[in-house]
């Protein structure tokens, strides 16, 4: 047996069983990664088991359908019995694709090893591409780059994204010595703490359907925006105008790491919410606000402190994911309400759930992921200081220059979106019933309010750029899907409609570049293609942003 390590070394492995492999890894291999923050813990060691290694150690090469559904091998498996005899423990998720094997910590020493089993689908192809089929040395390189720039994987990219938040803001730290010279564990300021918020203390407007705080609601009760916070990404489109149909192309641009950029500098709540009636709105106070924004008129808004007139029929509302204008009071996160003020309109909240204990919890998380993304893209030939035309040229075919590093880029992006999604993880598996708690609620990092704030700010950031672009050029988007925006143009490049002058972009508008928040070319199709697709599906408002990348549309894509 051979161990292919990050950096290139190949070691002989004498271990003849999984318990012996764990022992050897901890004591002889000298692997590992230091902690990311002062009060934190060193990263656990990661062992990837190939199919040959699985056979060697008596584990199945693939899981049965029943085991896939359970997410683990049976408790009575001989390898689990070997671990028990050697006094090793498994976490509650058991021996599955990402198995964690440990002994309780003694003092400052930790004994914990993470297993990753690609043939059990540990490396999801949606996020890791073909990583699971790579030869050992290449896979060691991919995971090693990811580990050094993000963190050692702790499970899926979503799990790792959430774990990265905790690693950068450990919940506890050692106190100053007391009168006896002893130190104790105490809350680490700026973290979410070590205890989850009691499910029954959650604001009803912030929780998803089925949450315990809603257990007294009728089973099929529909919660509208006046009782439920609904901050989601855009999914909006409109028919093209006659003037737009005379142009030749549809050009899509995509915001790089849009949700990471939305998290940067964002003030979020750290603790429980406080309920207030008829509050004065404070744009610096994280919270959920019940307020009527139906009076905000996009035909006349402030842009850079100047009132401008726009064609509001060609713009989505910034306040709803579908772009529909609200028709009464609804719940919004702070960035959404603040944007209504920015556009020049007064707001008068009816009530709110606000968090006076707050901070920029996600800044370190954003910085870590931004640096990982930029460093990997630079390795692929896409630098942060390229001029617009040079940037577009560098992005063309960048994945082919080093397919292994392209996998790392994909995994970094998935870590952002997955980590934010985990903040509002829903119940999984059979046996759960609406009104009952589920496992994720016991985590301090189950924070749907933080997820809502990030999505709100991301959507508002995009709308602000769209409004500035419209005010300056008279051009309006025809479709938006999450962080992708589609415009009509006479040419195939974003430079055919983005208003660059002497290489400089419109202040506050779209700017080409690789940094998070800047945009890249997503894809180009013809206007004729767009009209034919909509006619084919008899859907004049079919969201063309969903298909702009390669133009492929299937029957399965059409519909809800």
State the pLDDT at residue 559.
42
Summarize the confidence of residues 444-449 as an average pLDDT.
Answer: 98
- The reported pLDDT for the residue numbered 557 is 52
Q: What is the pLDDT of residue 106?
A: 72
Mean pLDDT throughout 342-355?
98
Residue 208 exposed, middle or buried by CB count within 10 Å (0-12, 13-18, 19+): middle
Q: Which residue has the tokens 């006619």?
A: 535
What are the tens digits of pLDDT across the range 480-538? 999 999 999 999 999 999 999 888 999 999 999 999 999 999 999 999 999 999 999 89
| CA–CA separation, 465 and 262 (whole Å) | 13
Closest listed residue to residue 365, CA positions, set 308, 301, 418: 418
Count of residues making up the chain: 560
Q: What is the mean pLDDT of residues 61-66?
A: 96
Largest CA distance in the chain: 82
| pLDDT tier at 555, thresholds 50, 70, 90 | low
Across-strand partners of 277?
351
Across 228-264, b (16+ Cβ under 10 Å) vs e yields: bbbbebbbbbbebeeebeebebbbbbbbbbbbbbbbb
- Let me know: does 116 contact 98? Beta carbons within 8 Å: yes
What is the distance between the alpha carbons of residues 494 and 520, in angstroms, rounded to a whole number?
8
> Which pLDDT belongs to residue 477?
98
Could you tell me which of 295, 291, 298 has the C-alpha nearest to residue 336?
291
Instruction: Please give the distance of CA 560 from its chain centroid, rounded to a whole number.
Output: 22
* Token duo for residue 160: 């790792």
| Bridge partners, residue 280, by sequence | none
Could you read off the pLDDT of 195-243 as tens digits, one per residue?
999 999 999 999 999 999 999 888 778 899 999 999 999 999 999 999 9
What is the C-alpha radius of gyration for the chain, rounded to an integer number of angstroms? 26
Over 50: is that where the pLDDT of 118 sits? yes
Question: Cβ distance 161 to 420 under 8 Å?
Answer: yes
Contact (CB, 8 A) for 250 and 548: yes
Distances (CA, A) of 138 to 142, 402, 404, 405: 6, 11, 7, 10
pLDDT of residue 560: 37
3 state DSSP class of 140? helix
- Which distant-in-sequence residues (6+ apart) come within 8 Å of 316 by Cβ? 234, 236, 322, 323, 463, 477, 480
At 108 the pLDDT is: 58
Element (H, E) at 404: helix 403-422
Q: What confidence tier does 52 reach under pLDDT thresholds 50, 70, 90?
A: very high
Question: For residue 511, what is the DSSP state?
Answer: -
pTM above 0.85, yes or no: yes
Q: H helices of 429-542, where? A: 448-473, 527-536
Confidence of residue 109 (pLDDT cuts 50, 70, 90): low
Q: Mean pLDDT over residues 59-82, rounded?
A: 95
What is residue 29's predicted lDDT score, i.e. its pLDDT? 65
Tell me, what's the pLDDT at 558? Answer: 46
Residue 105 exposed, middle or buried by CB count within 10 Å (0-12, 13-18, 19+): exposed
pLDDT at residue 273 above 80?
A: yes
Overall average pLDDT of the 350-372 stretch = 98
φ, ψ of residue 332 to 5 degrees: the values are -140, 150
CA distance 89 to 19: 10
CB atoms inside a 10 Å sphere around CB 134: 20
User: Is the confidence at residue 6, as pLDDT, over 80?
Assistant: yes
pLDDT of res. 430: 67
Split at pLDDT 50, 70, 90, the class of 556 is very low
490 Cβ contact partners less than 8 Å away, ≥ 6 residues apart: 247, 248, 249, 496
d(CA 351, CA 547): 41
Spatial CB neighbours of 107, under 8 Å, sequence gap ≥ 6: none
Q: Is the pLDDT of residue 454 over 50?
A: yes
Residue-wise pLDDT tens digits, 230-246: 999 999 999 999 999 99
Q: Which class for 221: exposed (0-12), middle (13-18), buried (19 or more C-beta within 10 A)? A: exposed
Convert 267-297 to b/e letters by CB count within 10 Å (16 or more is b): bbbbeebeeeeebebeeebbbbbbbbbeebe
Lowest mean pLDDT among 67-71, 95-99, 348-352, 482-486: 67-71
To the nearest whole number, what is the mean pLDDT of the chain? 94
Separation of first and last alpha carbons in the chain: 50
Structure tokens of 514?
């690789």
Q: Give mean pLDDT, residues 361-382.
A: 98
Residue 185 has pLDDT above 80, yes or no: no
Dihedral (Cα; 416, 391, 483, 304), 10-degree rounding: 110
pLDDT at 180: 73
Side-chain half-sphere exposure of 524, counting CA atoms within 13 A: 16
Looking up tokens 């604001």 gives 203
How many alpha carbons fall within 13 Å on the CB side of residue 18? 31
Give the DSSP letter string of 213-273. GGTTS-TTPPP-TTTS------EEE-PPPHHHHTS-EEEEEEETTHHHHHHTT--EE-S--
């Amino acid at each position: 047996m051979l161990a292919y390590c990050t950096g290139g070394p190949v070691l002989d492995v004498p271990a003849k069983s999984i318990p012996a492999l764990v022992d050897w890894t901890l004591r002889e291999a000298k692997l590992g990664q230091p902690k990311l923050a002062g009060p934190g813990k060193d990263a656990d060691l990661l062992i990837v088991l190939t199919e040959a290694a699985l056979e060697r150690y008596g584990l199945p090469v693939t899981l049965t359908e029943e085991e896939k559904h359970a997410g683990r091998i049976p408790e009575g498996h001989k390898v689990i019995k070997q671990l028990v005899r050697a006094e090793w423990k498994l976490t509650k998720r058991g021996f599955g694709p990402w198995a964690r094997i440990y002994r309780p910590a003694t003092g400052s020493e930790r004994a914990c090893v993470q297993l990753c089993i690609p043939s059990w689908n540990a490396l999801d192809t949606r996020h890791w591409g073909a990583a699971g089929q790579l030869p050992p040395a290449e896979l060691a390189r991919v995971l090693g780059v990811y580990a050094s720039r993000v963190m050692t994987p702790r499970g899926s990219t979503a799990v790792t994204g959430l774990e990265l938040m905790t690693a950068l803001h450990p919940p506890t730290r050692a106190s100053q010595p007391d009168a006896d010279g002893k130190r104790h564990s105490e809350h680490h300021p700026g973290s979410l703490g070590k205890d989850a918020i009691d499910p029954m203390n959650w604001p009803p407007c912030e929780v998803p359907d089925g949450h315990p705080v809603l257990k007294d609601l009728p089973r099929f009760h529909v919660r509208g925006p006046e009782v439920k916070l609904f901050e989601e990404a855009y999914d909006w489109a409109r028919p093209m105008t006659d003037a737009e149909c005379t142009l030749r192309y549809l050009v899509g641009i995509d915001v790089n790491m849009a949700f990471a950029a939305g998290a940067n500098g964002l003030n979020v709540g750290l603790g429980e919410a406080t309920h207030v009636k008829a509050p004065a709105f404070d744009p610096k106070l994280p919270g959920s606000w019940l307020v009527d924004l139906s009076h905000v008129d996009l035909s006349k808004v402030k842009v850079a402190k100047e009132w401008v007139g726009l064609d509001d029929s060609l713009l989505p509302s910034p306040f709803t994911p579908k772009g529909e204008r609200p028709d009464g009071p609804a719940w919004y996160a702070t960035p959404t309400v603040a944007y209504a003020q920015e556009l020049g309109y007064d707001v008068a909240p009816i009530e709110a759930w606000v968090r006076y204990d707050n901070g920029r919890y996600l800044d370190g998380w954003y910085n870590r992921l931004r640096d990982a993304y930029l460093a990997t893209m630079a390795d692929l030939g896409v630098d942060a200081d390229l001029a617009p035309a040079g940037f577009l040229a560098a992005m063309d075919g960048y994945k082919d220059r080093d397919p292994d590093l392209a996998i790392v880029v994909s995994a970094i992006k998935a870590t952002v979106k997955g980590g934010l999604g985990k903040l509002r993880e829903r119940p999984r598996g059979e046996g759960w019933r609406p009104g009952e708690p589920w496992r994720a609620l016991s985590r301090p990092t189950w924070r749907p309010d933080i997820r809502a704030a990030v999505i709100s700010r991301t959507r508002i950031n995009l709308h602000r750029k769209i409004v500035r672009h419209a005010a300056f050029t008279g051009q309006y988007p025809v479709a938006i899907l999450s962080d992708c925006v589609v415009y009509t143009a006479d040419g195939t490049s974003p430079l055919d409609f983005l208003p660059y002058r002497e290489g400089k972009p419109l202040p506050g508008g779209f700017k080409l570049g690789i940094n998070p928040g800047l945009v890249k070319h997503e894809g180009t199709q013809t206007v004729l293609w767009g009209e034919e697709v909509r006619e084919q599906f008899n859907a004049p408002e079919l969201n063309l942003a969903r298909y702009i990348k390669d133009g492929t549309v299937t029957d399965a894509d059409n519909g809800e």
